[in-house]
Structure formats: structure tokens, C-alpha cells
């Protein structure tokens, strides 16, 4: 195999990017933690704690149930023992004694002199230490650190005392939260057994951090505020010398005050919470800290919070709020609500409803103003909770705006283009308001790879959701003229193979002036023609397969939309593309592909069309891949050492071929990196943190907000929910990822690669990049759910629910309005053409009534599929309509709404 693929080089680079390779020029060997002094050991009924005798920072934090597992990176301690490396137990702060002065920064990590132990008679205090030796002698404050127990739990507390004669303003106060998320130099088995991911709820006094093992099982560590230590901001510790990369996202700190940053490094960004400071008078002491609690599982996080008297919020359908959706918010806390404030004023409208049986406070919520909105809930005991929403246009309008932007502003129509990219939908720079036709990363402007195919994939998948005749015509030109015979070879030994890029850098073979002088093409990513035209990267194939498959669906189920080829030509091309991936790109085809679920859809349609020979061959190939995954403990490999996109396809094929154990393993791993949190940016946000390097404009290692992983990972999560409809947690996570896909689309329809999470930025990335795979996830998964919860009652996700006696009516609010799941019946209704206006479920009789939208120029008929996820055979029947050979109920549409009754 030729190792030309630059991504393989990145794998090699990533595996060498480990803590042992780091060198710190910030301190000498003498200024280091003396690990040879040993450690002190303490225990509660839940935790075993080790702290170093030298620094009194953490050397190990183990759950008693599994003492061999460590939440902290103790394995890297001997490499991270020098000054500048953060450990659990450190503290950062910025202070000033006069408003006219500059902020002075202090960090316990900047010096590694041995700290002095303090004797105490309090039996609950496990260890106390004076940190004065770590700060300058003229520091106006004295810091004392305590490790203490509170019942079964551990507490890390700091006392900050003003020892000067002047007021001291604390403008920044952060506690580094250092856990073992560095999986460099590890196999997938080792990483899933030994490493963790952690996600923040930046919710002030109600905030917390959840620390979860990669495998998704075992106890979850919850980090809670102790005393008055609100989670105001989440700051990346970019000054820690540990090399960040594909196998290490970096460390962060829990910030209690952040005004000093907001006035400086973060002044260009709108923060999640109001930045604050605190004035400490002479002789006064401020205590802050974090409490460490264990939850038995991911599903038990919220019940554990309630047990620990923390406020809990549950939003339905989540915190991305289309303006036509009647959302609900459930709040649980022992204290009554004193007041609720919305910023910007009028962005949200809240109406109090009757509390639930177990006293969850219930509110209806409507989004009124497009954009970010912060709800602040103040309880009678003074505790505050913030819930960040993102208000968007109705889904149908968001998708329509997106399609229009893609086929106008991003429509590349230059017949004389030297790289044969016309016509196409090309990458767009929203900050510059222009198309990206040249970039030092060849794929960005080369219409392939996720970073280059993202724009046109987005545009084609939009037609799957909301077909538009003019847009479809343009995109069929693109498929016939630019994909077929361009991006995808249409003849020769590599027929159906997919190129790595249409654009390449080869100045010696191109006319003078082809390449811009202001772009640095002397990089590894500026592929030459030979490299750009190779076909061995399997990840490029699903994009093209999806394009053919959508065109097949449009040609087959609608009239007059697709004109240049027949439906079977497109379906067979989708099939051939799938087969070519395994024949021409076999190495990377062994891994799960992003959008790999499209191959399941292609196989299903081959069967529905009676193309059994093709179906048999495709199924046989896919079974071989799946059997390989079944032989692995964690079958989530990719071109990267760790990834969060192959899980989608691994789950779908594992389910298809009956490997339930691997499907469950995959789902648990997804839930480890895809949380439900009362914050639109993190709710359903599948972990991605390196693709700004390959698909973004602002290029850096950074947790990405609703990158394409959110939409893709929502596919298996919601598929699992349809099989286990009692598990509301799955629905909340999956729907968070689904709507998260739309959250970053601008008012005029531009879709960026992702949103930047660093508090210095907190805005969309500048280019469209690799957004497209995420929209694929939205397009094939957008659906409405009607379910009943023991505490919250009847709920609708993707629609507005009204109840009249036994009739539960849901008016759909999704863009496609083509899929509906009735959880009590485990009944899955999908339309291949046509739209549902409403679905009514009679809970007494079990009858389901569909109201279909009227016919239009290219949709004279609706095609309905009915599937049951229950163990028993489906007894659903539809009077007056019959199935065609493809298993669809054919429903002629009227010029007014059409009703269909399912008994």
C-alpha cells in the first residue's frame, strides 16, 4: 500500500504527540515536583485519593469500586512534574489593588517548590497546605489549600486571604480540572479502558463537569461547585506545555470569576455568563472549591445531582429552539424560584405551568428573537442557574435559506475553470463574503474530502429534505458534469473511484498566474496532481454515493424533478460507488465511514427495487466489514488514532447483521462523548476537536460546537431510541445532536464548519468547510417523536402537542415533515414523498390519523412506509390504500389535505 495519504502521516504525528515528548523551557529541572518523595493516601467510602508529598497535588483519584482505574493522568506524572504543567489541586487567579492598575496573574503551577503542610484538628480535613512559597513574596493574598471529605465525597477547597492593607479585586479565579483525557500512544482498547472525556455545564451555581470513561460504562465522576464557586466560564489552559493534538484535546479550568479575561483576551466575544469579579477587603478570606461525587452511570447523572441538592434542568425538545416550537422546561430544586431573567430582553417567552407530581417546576418556552439567549433562574436561597438557548427560525425556513445560499452565493459557475470544478457548490468564506477557489489545503477548494465536499453534500442533502425544482436542476448539472467524469472517474481501471481533490498545486504544469501569491503553498496539504487524483481515501466515497442516492430518491418518488438520467441509473451508480470504495480504497474501508449509513439505505433500496443480484453483492461486502468489526473490542478505528464519526456506520451495520453486542458497545461509546446538558452548545454535541485544522478557517485544536459529529452520531442514538422508547435520555441526546446541526446556520442561510468554543472567540468559523456530513445526519434523521414519560407526561420532539380527551395531536415542525414515531406503539411512519401536517394518536383505541399536505407540481402522490419496532408482528392496517412492489402505500394527494387512518 502506498502511504501517500497525508492523513496517515497525521496518524504517525499524533501517536508521537505524547506527554513524554514534551519539553518545557519555562522551568529548570530543579523547579519540579519531586515525585520520589512519594505520596499521601486517603480514602472515603467512595474514593481513594493520592496526593504528592512534594506539591500536595493529585497523584491519583480512584473509585473504590474499581481502585485500579484513575480519573487523573498519573501515568504521565513523571513527564509532567515540572513547573508550568497543571495538576488537579492547582489554582490560577488575577488580582489588582487599584482599578487603574493592570491585572496581575498568579498560578500555583508556575513554581514547583515543595509546599508546607499545615496541621489541623478537623477530622474531615485530610490534608492542608500553605501555598505561599509558590507566589511572589509581595503577593497581597495568602492561599491555603485543603483536601477534605464531606460524607462519601471529596472536596478541594482554597482559602484566599487578603493580607494587604488595601482592597484586592479578584478579576479571574480558576481551578484547573485535570483528568486523564490524553490517550496518546494508546491502542483503542487501552484508551477505552484507561481514559476519560469530560463535558461542562457552564451554568453558574448549577454548573458541573461530568467525567466519563471512553467506553461509556463504569462510574461517572461529577465535579460540583463547593460553597460559593459558580461555574462562570470554561477556560482552555493553552499555556500547559503538554502537546495538544488528535489524541489530546487539552486541559481546561473551571472559572469562578472571569472579568479580567473578559476585559482583555476575551473582549471580542460574548460570554456564556456575565463576567464577574469580587473585592476582598483587608483581612478577609474568600473560600472556593470543587466537590467530587460519583454517579453510578451516565443515565444516573441527573438523579445524582438531585441527591446532592443541585438544580437540574430538562429542556424539551432541547435548547436549540425553532421559533414555531412550543418548548417545555422542567426545573428541579428544593428551593422555590425567586425570579427568571432573559437576555437579550424578550428573546424568550416563558409561561409557568402546573408542576409535576414530584414537584418539577414546568414552564412553556417560546423563542422570539433569533440568536443566543440566556435564561437566568434565581432561587430563594440566592443560588443562580443559567440555561443558554439558541433561537433559530422555523426548521423549514432555516433549511430553505440554507439551500438558497448554497445554490446562489456558493454556486460556482466558471466554465473555463482550469481545475474543471464548474458547475458546483464550492467552499465559501463568510467573513470575506466570497467563494474559496484557492487554499493551501488542496481539498478545501477541491470539492472532495469532507472539507471540500461539505458544501455540495449539504446542497444535495437539502433536496432530500425540501426539494426545490430550480435547485435540483442546478445540482443535477453538478452531478452529471462535475461529479461524473470529474470528482468520480467514469471510465478506465479506476471507474467509480473518487478523487481526493479536483484542485492541486503544480505550478510547473499550470499557466503563469494560476496560483495566488498570498497563499503559502509550501505545506504538506498542497497536493500535487498525482496525489490529488488518487482514489485510495475511502472517506470520499460516501459523499458521492449519497449524491447519487438522493438523485435516485428524487427521480423515483417525485415527478419532473430529475431529467438528465433515469432513477435506476442513479441507484446503480450509488451501488457501484459503494462497491468501488471497498475495491479501490480497501485499507481505509476497513473502518466505519462518516455517512456510512448511506450504504444501508442504498442496500434497502436495491432490495425494494428487486435488484437482488446487486443487493446480494453489496450485502456480502458489507457483511465482511462488519464481521471484522465484530472481532474487535472497540471497532472505531479510522485514519485517525481516535475518532467519533465511524461509530455511525459501525452501529448501523452491527444492528443490520445482528451483532447486538457490538451495537451496544458502540452506543455506550457514543454516549460517553455526546452528553445531554442544559446548554445549546454542548447538548448533543458529539466530541470533535481537531477538524478546524482540516476543514476550518481559524485553525487550532479546540472543542468544536456542533461540528458534523453531532448530526452523524444522532443517527445511531435515535435509531436505538426507536427500539427502546422508554429511554428518554437517548431521545434527548439524539435530538440535541439533530437540532445542533441547524444551530450554527446564519440568518441568511450560511452553514459554517462549526462554532468555536474558546471563550476568546465563541462564534462561527469563517468558512463552510466540512459542514455537509452533519447536514446529511440531519437530512436522513429529521423526525418527530410522540412519547410519554412517567414524570413529565406526554411530550413531542419535532412538533407541537395538543391534547383533547383521548386524542393527542402533534402538528409537525420539522423541515421535512416526513417521519413520525409513535412511541407507545413503537410505530415508525416515513414518507418518501409528501409531507405530514399533523399526526393524531388516540391513546384509548390506538388509532393513528395522518393529515397530509396538499399536492404540488412534482408531488401528486405520497409514498408511505409503516414499520413496527415492537417484538410482536405489526397489526397496523390502512384502509383504502395498497402497497406497491416497493413496500410503499401509495396515497394520491388532493388539492386540500388528505387524511389517512391507521388502525
* Span 578-624, pLDDT tens digits: 999 999 999 999 999 999 999 999 999 999 999 999 999 999 999 99
- Give the pairing type, strands 819-822 and 784-789: parallel
Confidence (pLDDT) at 24: 34
Residue 654: alpha-carbon gap to chain centroid: 22
- Tell me the HSE value of 309 on the side-chain side, using a 13 A CA sphere: 9
Q: What is the DSSP letter of 311?
A: -
Confidence (pLDDT) at 13: 37
> Are the C-beta atoms of residues 454 and 696 closer than 8 Å to each other?
no
Residue 395: alpha-carbon gap to chain centroid: 19
Element (H, E) at 219: none
Residues of the chain with pLDDT under 70: 1-30, 871-875
Confidence (pLDDT) at 875: 64
Strands, E assignment, 109-167: 116-117, 125-130, 141-150, 153-162
Alpha carbon distance 830, 863 (integer Å): 8
Residue with cell 447519487: 548
Residue with cell 413529565: 792
> Are the C-beta atoms of residues 764 and 428 closer than 8 Å to each other?
no
Confidence (pLDDT) at 123: 92
Alpha carbon distance 316, 320 (integer Å): 10
Alpha carbon distance 807, 788 (integer Å): 14
Alpha carbon distance 634, 214 (integer Å): 10
Write out the three cell numbers for 284: 478577609
Nearest residue to 576 (alpha-carbon basis) of 656, 484, 648 = 484
Write out the three cell numbers for 690: 481537531
Write out the three cell numbers for 454: 461539505
Dihedral, 869, 872, 878, 883 alpha carbons, nearest 10: 70
Nearest residue to 637 (alpha-carbon basis) of 33, 192, 78 = 192
Question: CB atoms < 10 A from the CB of 558, how many?
Answer: 23
Alpha carbon distance 634, 217 (integer Å): 13
> Are the C-beta atoms of residues 230 and 75 closer than 8 Å to each other?
no
Confidence (pLDDT) at 639: 84
Element (H, E) at 223: strand 220-226
Alpha carbon distance 827, 829 (integer Å): 6
- Tell me the HSE value of 456 on the side-chain side, using a 13 A CA sphere: 33
- Cα separation of the two ends of the chain: 57
Confidence (pLDDT) at 14: 38
The predicted-structure confidence for 99-118, as pLDDT tens digits, reads as follows 889 999 999 999 999 999 99
Alpha carbon distance 6, 446 (integer Å): 15
Amino acid at each position: 500500500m502506498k502511504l501517500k495519504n497525508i492523513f496517515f502521516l497525521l496518524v504517525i504525528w499524533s501517536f508521537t504527540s505524547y506527554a513524554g515528548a514534551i519539553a518545557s523551557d519555562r522551568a529548570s529541572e530543579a523547579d519540579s515536583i519531586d515525585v520520589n518523595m512519594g505520596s499521601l493516601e486517603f480514602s472515603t467510602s467512595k474514593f481513594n485519593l493520592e496526593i504528592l508529598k512534594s506539591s500536595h497535588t493529585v497523584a491519583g483519584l480512584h473509585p473504590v469500586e474499581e481502585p485500579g482505574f484513575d480519573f487523573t493522568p498519573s501515568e504521565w506524572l513523571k513527564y509532567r512534574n515540572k513547573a508550568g504543567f497543571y495538576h488537579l489541586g492547582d489554582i490560577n487567579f488575577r488580582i489588582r489593588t487599584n482599578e487603574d492598575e493592570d491585572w496581575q496573574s498568579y498560578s500555583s503551577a508556575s513554581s514547583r517548590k515543595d509546599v508546607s503542610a499545615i496541621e489541623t484538628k478537623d477530622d474531615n480535613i485530610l490534608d492542608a497546605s500553605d501555598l505561599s512559597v509558590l507566589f511572589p513574596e509581595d503577593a497581597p493574598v495568602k492561599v491555603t489549600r485543603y483536601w477534605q471529605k464531606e460524607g462519601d465525597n471529596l472536596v478541594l477547597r482554597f482559602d484566599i486571604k487578603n493580607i494587604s492593607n488595601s482592597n484586592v479585586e479578584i478579576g479571574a479565579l480558576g481551578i484547573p480540572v485535570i483528568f486523564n483525557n490524553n490517550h496518546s500512544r494508546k491502542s483503542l482498547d487501552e484508551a477505552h479502558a484507561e481514559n476519560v472525556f469530560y463535558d461542562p455545564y457552564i451554568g453558574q451555581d448549577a454548573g458541573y463537569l461530568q467525567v466519563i470513561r471512553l467506553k461509556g460504562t463504569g462510574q461517572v465522576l461529577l465535579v460540583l461547585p463547593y460553597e460559593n464557586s459558580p461555574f462562570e466560564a470554561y477556560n482552555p489552559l493553552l499555556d500547559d506545555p503538554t502537546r495538544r493534538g488528535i489524541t489530546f484535546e487539552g486541559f481546561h479550568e473551571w472559572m469562578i470569576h472571569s472579568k479580567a479575561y473578559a476585559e482583555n483576551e476575551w473582549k471580542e466575544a460574548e460570554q456564556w455568563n456575565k463576567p464577574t469579579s469580587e473585592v476582598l477587603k483587608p483581612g478577609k478570606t474568600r473560600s472556593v472549591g470543587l466537590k467530587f461525587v460519583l454517579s453510578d452511570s451516565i443515565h444516573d447523572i441527573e438523579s445524582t445531582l438531585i441527591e446532592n441538592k443541585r438544580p437540574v434542568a430538562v429542556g424539551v425538545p432541547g435548547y436549540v429552539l425553532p421559533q414555531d416550537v412550543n418548548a417545555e422546561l422542567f426545573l428541579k430544586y428544593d428551593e422555590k424560584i425567586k425570579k427568571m431573567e432573559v437576555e437579550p430582553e424578550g428573546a424568550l417567552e416563558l409561561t409557568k405551568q402546573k408542576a409535576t407530581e414530584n414537584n418539577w417546576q414546568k414552564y412553556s418556552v417560546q423563542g422570539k428573537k433569533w440568536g443566543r439567549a440566556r435564561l437566568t433562574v434565581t432561587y430563594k436561597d440566592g443560588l443562580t442557574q443559567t440555561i443558554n438557548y439558541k433561537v433559530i427560525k422555523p426548521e423549514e425556513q432555516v433549511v430553505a435559506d440554507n439551500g438558497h445560499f448554497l445554490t446562489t452565493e456558493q454556486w460556482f459557475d466558471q466554465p473555463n475553470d482550469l481545475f474543471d470544478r464548474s458547475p458546483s457548490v464550492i467552499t465559501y468564506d463568510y467573513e470575506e463574503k466570497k467563494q474559496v477557489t484557492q487554499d493551501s489545503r488542496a481539498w478545501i477548494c477541491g470539492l472532495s474530502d469532507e472539507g471540500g465536499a461539505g458544501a455540495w453534500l449539504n446542497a444535495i442533502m437539502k433536496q432530500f429534505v425540501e426539494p426545490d425544482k430550480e435547485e435540483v436542476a442546478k445540482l443535477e448539472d453538478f452531478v452529471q458534469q462535475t461529479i461524473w467524469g470529474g470528482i468520480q472517474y467514469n471510465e478506465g481501471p479506476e471507474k467509480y473511484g473518487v478523487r481526493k481533490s479536483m484542485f492541486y498545486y503544480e505550478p510547473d504544469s499550470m499557466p503563469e498566474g494560476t496560483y495566488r501569491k498570498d497563499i503559502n503553498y509550501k505545506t504538506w496539504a498542497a497536493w500535487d496532481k498525482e496525489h490529488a487524483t488518487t482514489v485510495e481515501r475511502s472517506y470520499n466515497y460516501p459523499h458521492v454515493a449519497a449524491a447519487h442516492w438522493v438523485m435516485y430518491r428524487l427521480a423515483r418518488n417525485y415527478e419532473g424533478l430529475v431529467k438528465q438520467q433515469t432513477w435506476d441509473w442513479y441507484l446503480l451508480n450509488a451501488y457501484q460507488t459503494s462497491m468501488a470504495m471497498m475495491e479501490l480504497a480497501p485499507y481505509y474501508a476497513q473502518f466505519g465511514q462518516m455517512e456510512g449509513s448511506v450504504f444501508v439505505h442504498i442496500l434497502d433500496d436495491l432490495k425494494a427495487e428487486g435488484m437482488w443480484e446487486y443487493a446480494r453483492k453489496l450485502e456480502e461486502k458489507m457483511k465482511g466489514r462488519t464481521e471484522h468489526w465484530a472481532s474487535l473490542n472497540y471497532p472505531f478505528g479510522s485514519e485517525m488514532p481516535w475518532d467519533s464519526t465511524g461509530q455511525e456506520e459501525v452501529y448501523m451495520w452491527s444492528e443490520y447483521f445482528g451483532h447486538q453486542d457490538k451495537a451496544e458497545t458502540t452506543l455506550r461509546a457514543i454516549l460517553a462523548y455526546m452528553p445531554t446538558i442544559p446548554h445549546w452548545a454542548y447538548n448533543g454535541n458529539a466530541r470533535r476537536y481537531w477538524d478546524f485544522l482540516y476543514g476550518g478557517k481559524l485553525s487550532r485544536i479546540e472543542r468544536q460546537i456542533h461540528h458534523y459529529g453531532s448530526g452523524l452520531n444522532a443517527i445511531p442514538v435515535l435509531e436505538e431510541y426507536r427500539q427502546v422508547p422508554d429511554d428518554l435520555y437517548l431521545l434527548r441526546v439524539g435530538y440535541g445532536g439533530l437540532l445542533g446541526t441547524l444551530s450554527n446556520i446564519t440568518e441568511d442561510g450560511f452553514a459554517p464548519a462549526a462554532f468555536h468554543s474558546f471563550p476568546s472567540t465563541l462564534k462561527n468559523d469563517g468558512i463552510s468547510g466540512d459542514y455537509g456530513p452533519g447536514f446529511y445526519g440531519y437530512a436522513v434523521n429529521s423526525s418527530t417523536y410522540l412519547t410519554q414519560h412517567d414524570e413529565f407526561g406526554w411530550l413531542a420532539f419535532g412538533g407541537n402537542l395538543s391534547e383533547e380527551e383521548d386524542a393527542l395531536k402533534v402538528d409537525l415542525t420539522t423541515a421535512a415533515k416526513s417521519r413520525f414515531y409513535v412511541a407507545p406503539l413503537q410505530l415508525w411512519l416515513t414518507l418518501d414523498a409528501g409531507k405530514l401536517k399533523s399526526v393524531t394518536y388516540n391513546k384509548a383505541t390506538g388509532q393513528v390519523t395522518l393529515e397530509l399536505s396538499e399536492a404540488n407540481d412534482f408531488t401528486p402522490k405520497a409514498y408511505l412506509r409503516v414499520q413496527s419496532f415492537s417484538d410482536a408482528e405489526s397489526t397496523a392496517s390502512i384502509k383504502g390504500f395498497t402497497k406497491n412492489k416497493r413496500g410503499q402505500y401509495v396515497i394520491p394527494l388532493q388539492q386540500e389535505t388528505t387524511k389517512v387512518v391507521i388502525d
